[in-house]
Amino acid sequence: MQYLFEPDIYTDRRRVLQASMQGNVLLFPGNKNSPINYAANYYRFRQDSNFLYYAGLDLPGLNLVIDADKGTTILYGDDATMEDVVWTGPQPTLKELAASVGIADVRPASRLFEDYADCSMHTLPPYRAEHYAVLQRLATHADCSVAPSEQLILAVVSQREIKGPEEVAQMEEALEITAQMHTKVMRTAKSGMRESVLAGVATGIARANEGEPAYGIILSRDGHILHNHHYHNVLQKGDLVLGDFGAENRMRYAADITRTFPVDKRFSPEQADIYNIVLEAEMKGINAVRPGQMFRDVHLLASQIIADGLIAMGLMRGNPEDAVASGAHALFFPHGLGHMIGLDVHDMEGLGEDHVGYGTECTRSDQFGLAYLRMAKSLRPGHVVTVEPGIYFIPALIDQWQRQGLHQAFIAYDKLTAFRNFGGVRIEDNVLVTAEGQRVLGPRIPKTVAEVESLRAKA
């Protein structure tokens, strides 16, 4: 069963792309099944996002050619055999499926290598080994050159970065599922429970709604370990739990939400202090999102709020503007404020972060912390971004900085000992840039200290 937009949506998207790539031939290799431990046991299928954007069909083994020279679109792929029908049930023909995304020209998979045997093709950067195989096979034809193309990347980014209302509706569906996931996790967690139980709760809800987790779930008492995809720990009284997860809905649009909550019914005073700094940074960050606003400056605003708060708590010191300018706050907030989101959780990351988040408007900083900012450029209506500030106490990083004597004017290293086991706090929402300002997408997911504690009281 295919969940699709109306055919016109896809036809219009291809028409726009053809116009900006006039005279060229564009190849979009679809994904295949990815084997787990042998060829016939594969991971759940995920179509390539660019293929989904221009041709919708969520099936393995297809290739799409948009011939902006001849003005045609061709879908290459093979129909199910009679044997397939016995094992997998009646299937619509590829011709029928193609018609449902506005494509009339369907050809056998192998024809690709004949039809474009002596042609130059633009394509996007491959990220799966199977993509390289397709390009390699095409390249063995004497006169065929097919290569990742910056012109095509820029054309695709300029389309995909502006979300249409039909896409926003899908992202809100993903967020509805994600809200269920977070709410249920917050109501289920208790001391003595293994993190994996909560990861199971979240995964189960995503799948129940014909979705999947959009990315590897982060769900841990070790919230300060930013790239942590393990769930081995047992929750203890006094812990904070950081949950960063979201559903990809049935049309493969992603949600990306983070909440942090105490294993106890209430935040401790220190936990509440840190939490409220992050919450202020998140809410003021969201309010700063509007057309024409550089997202880098929203990042710096949030950084400023974090520095202010940590100075008030005595964990940092000195002038907060200078602290942020020097990058001292990045000991506690070492990542970027957010990124675009859409069909990919880091939307279009495969096309190059700088193409997506910087463009020609600005260049990436090499300062620790700011260097990890994926999105920096000016916001436009239709952009959807995450806003996700955090404060972490990362023992390895604290020790490294202290050893190297970094930012001693701004960091109260002697005060950090008491926080070595604190973990981390991050709060994240997904925000649409509107003509007037911004709108937080999806249902409200408990976020203030009072809201979170009210939910924890029911656990």
Which residues would be at the binding site for a second copy (CB under 8 A)? 1, 34-44, 46, 48-49, 82, 85-90, 127-130, 132-133, 194, 196-197, 199-201, 203-210, 215-216, 222, 225-232, 334, 343-346, 349-350, 394, 396-397, 400
- Closer to a second copy by Cβ: residue 200 or 381: 200
Interacting residues of 257 by C-beta distance below 8 A, sequence separation 6+:
175, 178, 179, 182, 244, 245, 246, 428, 429, 430, 442, 445
Task: State the nearest-atom distance from the C-beta of 51 to a second copy, in Å.
Answer: 10
Whichever of 204 and 314 has its CB closer to a second copy, that residue is 204
Nearer to a second copy, 100 or 378 (CB): 100
Residue 455 phi, psi dihedral angles, 5° rounding:
-70, -40
H/E element, 38: strand 35-38
Inter-residue contact 382 to 163 (CB < 8 Å): yes
Give the Cα separation of 340 and 356 in Å (integer): 8
Q: Which two tokens stand for residue 433?
A: 């840039």
For a second copy, give the closer residue by CB, 78 or 280: 78
Nearest distance from C-beta of residue 236 to a second copy, angstroms: 17
CB of 266 to a second copy, least distance (A): 26
**To which H or E segment does residue 114 belong?**
helix 112-115
Count Cβ atoms within 10 A of the Cβ of residue 42 and give its class: 0-12 exposed, 13-18 middle, 19 or more buried: middle
Minimum Å gap between C-beta 326 and a second copy is 19
Least separation in angstroms between CB 204 and a second copy: 3
How far is it, in rounded angstroms, from Cα 226 to Cα 195?
16
CB of residue 23 vs a second copy: minimum separation in angstroms? 29
The DSSP letter of residue 347 is T
**Cβ 224 to a second copy shortest distance, Å:** 8
Residue 102 and residue 6 in contact, taking contact as beta carbons nearer than 8 Å: no
Note whether 321 and 314 are within 8 A (CB).
no
Instruction: Give the HSE-up count for residue 346: Cα atoms under 13 Å, Cβ half-sphere.
Output: 18
- Residue nearer to a second copy on the CB measure, 25 or 179: 179
Would you say 68 or 171 has its CB closer to a second copy?
171
Q: Which is nearer to a second copy, 232 or 458 (CB)?
A: 232
Considering the complex, state which of residue 9 and residue 226 has its C-beta at the smaller distance from a second copy: 226
Question: Would you state the structure tokens that stand for residue 206, as one six-digit string?
Answer: 């995503």
Minimum CB distance to a second copy, residue 377 (Å): 19
110 vs 400, beta carbon nearer a second copy: 400
The beta strands (E) that lie in 94-196 are given as 105-107, 120-123, 145-148
CB of 1 to a second copy, least distance (A): 5
Judged by CB, which is closer to a second copy: 48, or 308? Answer: 48
Sign of CA dihedral 239, 243, 390, 274: negative
CA distance 29 to 342: 20
DSSP, res 109? G
- Rounded to whole angstroms, how far apart are CA atoms 251 and 210? 9
At closest approach, how far in Å is the CB of 115 from a second copy? 24
255 vs 428: CA distance, rounded Å:
10
Task: Report the alpha-carbon distance of residue 374 to residue 365 in Å, rounded.
Answer: 11
Distance CA 115, CA 141 (A): 11
Report d(CA 52, CA 4) in Å as an integer: 9
